[in-house]
C-alpha cells in the first residue's frame, strides 16, 4: 500500500496552499463579515484550474484526478470555508454531472465556461419539502413542442444567486415517482421565467450565497435534457456521492485551520507561569483533533482513489463525509474552548471556524442520512 502522493499531486497541493495563504486567507474575515461573493478569487481559481480540476483540458478543466481535487480543496477551505464550498459545488455538483452525462455539444456550451472559471455553476435539487427525500420534489418539466416548460422552486441552492448555469432536477412523469425525475441544463441568465428568490441569512459560510431559485413557466430548449428522460434520480445519486467527497474535504480544511490556530495559541498563552500547551488537558484536546483529522483525510483520499479508478465508492464517500463533518465540528468546539474568551470573540477566526464547521454535518446529505447510506451498503452486500 503506497501512501505517497505523485509529483503532480504534490504540485497541486503546494500551489493550492500558497494561493490560499496569499490570495484568500487575508480576506476571509472580511468576506464573512460582508457576506460578499468572492468573485475575483473564483476567477483566479479558474485560471489555476481549481474550478474544474478533474475536467479534461478539452472542456476547460485541469485534466487532473479526484485525489488532486481533494488536496486542493482542503487547502482552499482551510483559508476560507465559503470559498471552499463554492469550489466544491462547482466541481462536484455541476461539472461532474455535465461531464459524466452530457453530449459533446452540451459540454462545450455548459461545461467549458464553468470549468475554466469564466462562470459559476450550481445544482438545483433541494426543495422546501424535499431535502433528505429528493423523490418528494414538486418542480416539474413538461415538454411543449421543442421546449421544456419548468415550474417550481428550489431552496438552499449554493451559489444560486450568482450562478450563470444550473444542473436542475425536475419531475417529467409524476406517475413514476423517483423514476420520473429528469435532469436539465439551464442558462440562467438567458431563461425567461427564472428568478432568484430569497438569499438566506446563515450562521456560517456567509460569503457563499444560499438562494431560492424560482421557475415560473420557464422555457428551455428540448436539447437541454441531460442524458435520457427518467434518469435523473440515478444521475443524482452518483453526483451526490462525489459531492460528499467535496464536503469531506471542506470539513478537513476547516478542522486543519482550527488545529493550527489552537496549537499556536496554546504555545503563547500562559497561565500559572507556563504555556497552556504544557497542560495535559490541552494536549489531549490537540491530540484527539489531530488524530481524527488524519483519519478523516485518509477516509476521504480512499473515496477519491476509488472514484479515480472507477470503483464503487458510495459507502466510502458517505463514511468520509460523515466522519470528517463530525471531526471538524468536534475540533471547532474544542478550538473555541482552548482559546477561551478569545475563541468566542470575532477578533479571532476560531468562532468563524465553529460556525462554518456545523454545515458540513448537514448539507450534501445530513450525517444521519450518511449513516443510513453506510448501513444500507453493509446490509445489501452481506
- Say if residue 312's pLDDT is above 80: yes
- Give residue-wise pLDDT tens across range 194-205: 999 999 999 999
d(CA 215, CA 139): 8
Q: Answer whether residue 40 shows pLDDT above 70.
A: yes
Give the cell for residue 346: 470575532
Q: Does residue 266 fall inside a structural domain?
A: yes
The answer to the question of residue 327 being in a domain is yes
As a whole number, mean pLDDT of residues 248-253 equals 98
Q: Is residue 104 part of a domain?
A: yes
The CATH number that applies at residue 371 is 1.20.140.10
Q: What is the mean pLDDT of residues 211-218?
A: 97
How many domains are there within the chain?
3
Query: In the predicted model, what is the mean pLDDT of residues 159-188?
Result: 95
Q: Are residues 147 and 190 in the same domain?
A: yes
SS3 231: coil
Average of pLDDT values for 218-246? 95
In a domain, 294, yes or no: yes
Catalytic residue from among 23, 75, 297, 364:
364
Asked if residue 364 has pLDDT above 70, the reply is yes
pLDDT category, 382, cuts 50, 70, 90?
Answer: low
pLDDT(236) > 80? yes
C-alpha span between 290 and 279 (Å, rounded): 17
How much of the chain exceeds pLDDT 70, in percent? 99
pLDDT score of 1 more than 80: no
One domain for residues 280 and 374: yes
**The pLDDT value given to residue 323:** 98
109: in domain: yes
Same domain, yes or no: 196 and 333: no
- Angle made by CA atoms 116, 120, 126, in degrees to the nearest 5: 135
Q: What is the arithmetic mean of pLDDT over 229-233?
A: 94
**Mean pLDDT of all residues in 180-184:** 96
Looking at the structure, tell me whether residues 226 and 150 fall in a common domain.
yes
Using the Cα atoms of residue 232, residue 238, residue 243 and residue 244 in order, give the sign of their dihedral.
positive
For residue 89, the tally of other CB atoms under 10 A from its CB is 26
Residues 58, 184 within the same domain: no
* pLDDT(129) > 90: no
The pLDDT score that the predictor gives to residue 380 is 87
Residue 2 lies in a domain: no
> What are the pLDDT digits (tens) for 279-302?
999 999 999 999 999 999 999 999
Q: What pLDDT does residue 64 have?
A: 97
* Final residue belonging to a domain, choices 99, 119, 139: 119
Residues 265 and 363 in one domain: yes
Using the Cα atoms of residue 156, residue 158, residue 159 and residue 164 in order, give the sign of their dihedral.
Answer: negative
Looking at the structure, do residues 45 and 106 belong to the same domain, yes or no?
yes
Last residue in a domain, options 214, 232, 250: 232
Is 332 part of a structural domain of the chain?
yes
Residue scoring higher pLDDT (78 or 177): 78
Q: Is the pLDDT of residue 132 over 90?
A: no
Same domain, 149 and 185: yes
Q: Are 237 and 349 within one domain?
A: yes
pLDDT of 182 above 90: yes
The residue out of 103, 119, 135 marking a domain boundary is 119
Q: At 72, which CATH number?
A: 1.10.540.10
pLDDT of 314 higher than 70? yes
| pLDDT given at position 25 | 98
**CATH number for position 137:** 2.40.110.10
Q: Are residues 104 and 132 in the same domain?
A: no
Q: Summarize pLDDT for 54-68 with one digit per residue, the tens.
A: 999 999 999 999 999
Query: Which residue range forms the structural domain that includes residue 323?
Result: 233-380
What pLDDT sits at residue 133? 82
**Per-residue pLDDT, 231:** 95
Q: Could you tell me which residues come within 8 angstroms of residue 166 by beta carbon, excluding any fewer than 6 positions away?
A: 94, 121, 122, 123, 124, 160, 185, 186, 188, 213
Cβ neighbours, 10 Å, residue 170: 24
Is residue 1 in some structural domain? no
224 and 239 both lie in a single domain: no
Respond yes or no: is residue 364 known to be catalytic. Answer: yes
Examine the domain organization and report whether 244 and 306 are in the same domain: yes
pLDDT of 219 above 70: yes
Across all residues in the chain, what is the average pLDDT?
A: 96
Amino acid at each position: 500500500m503506497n501512501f505517497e502522493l505523485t509529483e503532480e499531486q504534490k504540485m497541486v497541493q503546494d500551489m493550492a496552499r500558497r494561493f490560499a495563504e496569499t490570495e484568500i486567507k487575508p480576506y476571509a474575515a472580511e468576506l464573512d463579515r460582508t457576506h460578499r461573493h468572492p468573485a475575483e478569487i473564483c476567477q483566479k481559481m479558474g485560471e489555476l484550474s481549481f474550478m474544474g480540476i478533474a475536467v479534461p483540458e478539452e472542456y476547460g478543466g485541469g485534466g487532473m484526478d479526484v485525489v488532486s481535487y481533494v488536496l486542493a480543496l482542503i487547502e482552499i477551505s482551510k483559508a476560507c470555508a465559503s470559498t471552499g464550498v463554492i469550489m466544491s459545488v462547482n466541481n462536484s455538483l455541476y461539472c461532474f454531472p455535465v461531464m459524466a452525462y452530457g453530449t459533446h455539444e452540451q459540454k462545450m456550451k455548459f461545461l467549458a465556461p464553468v470549468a475554466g472559471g469564466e462562470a459559476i455553476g450550481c445544482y438545483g435539487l433541494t426543495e422546501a419539502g424535499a431535502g433528505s427525500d429528493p423523490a418528494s420534489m414538486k418542480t416539474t418539466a413538461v415538454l411543449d413542442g421543442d421546449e421544456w416548460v419548468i415550474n417550481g422552486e428550489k431552496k438552499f441552492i449554493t451559489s444560486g444567486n450568482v450562478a450563470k448555469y444550473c444542473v436542475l432536477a425536475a419531475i417529467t412523469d409524476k406517475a413514476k415517482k423517483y423514476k420520473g425525475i429528469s435532469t436539465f441544463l439551464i442558462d440562467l441568465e438567458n431563461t425567461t421565467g427564472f428568478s432568484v428568490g430569497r438569499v438566506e441569512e446563515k450562521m456560517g459560510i456567509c460569503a457563499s450565497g444560499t438562494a431560492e431559485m424560482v421557475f415560473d413557466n420557464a422555457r428551455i430548449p428540448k436539447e437541454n435534457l441531460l442524458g435520457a428522460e427518467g434518469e435523473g434520480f440515478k444521475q443524482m445519486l452518483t453526483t451526490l456521492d462525489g459531492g460528499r467527497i467535496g464536503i469531506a474535504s471542506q470539513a478537513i480544511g476547516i478542522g486543519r485551520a482550527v488545529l493550527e490556530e489552537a496549537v499556536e495559541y496554546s504555545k503563547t498563552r500562559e497561565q500559572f507561569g507556563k504555556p497552556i500547551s504544557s497542560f495535559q488537558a490541552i494536549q489531549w484536546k490537540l491530540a484527539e483533533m489531530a488524530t481524527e483529522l488524519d483519519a478523516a483525510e485518509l477516509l476521504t483520499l480512499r473515496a477519491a482513489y476509488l472514484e479515480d479508478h472507477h470503483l464503487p465508492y458510495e459507502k466510502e464517500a458517505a463514511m468520509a463525509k460523515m466522519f470528517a463533518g463530525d471531526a471538524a465540528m468536534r475540533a471547532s468546539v474544542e478550538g473555541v474552548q482552548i482559546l477561551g474568551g478569545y475563541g468566542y470573540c470575532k477578533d479571532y477566526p476560531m468562532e468563524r471556524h465553529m460556525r462554518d464547521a456545523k454545515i458540513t454535518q448537514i448539507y450534501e446529505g445530513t450525517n444521519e442520512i450518511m449513516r443510513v447510506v453506510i448501513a444500507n451498503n453493509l446490509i445489501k452486500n452481506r
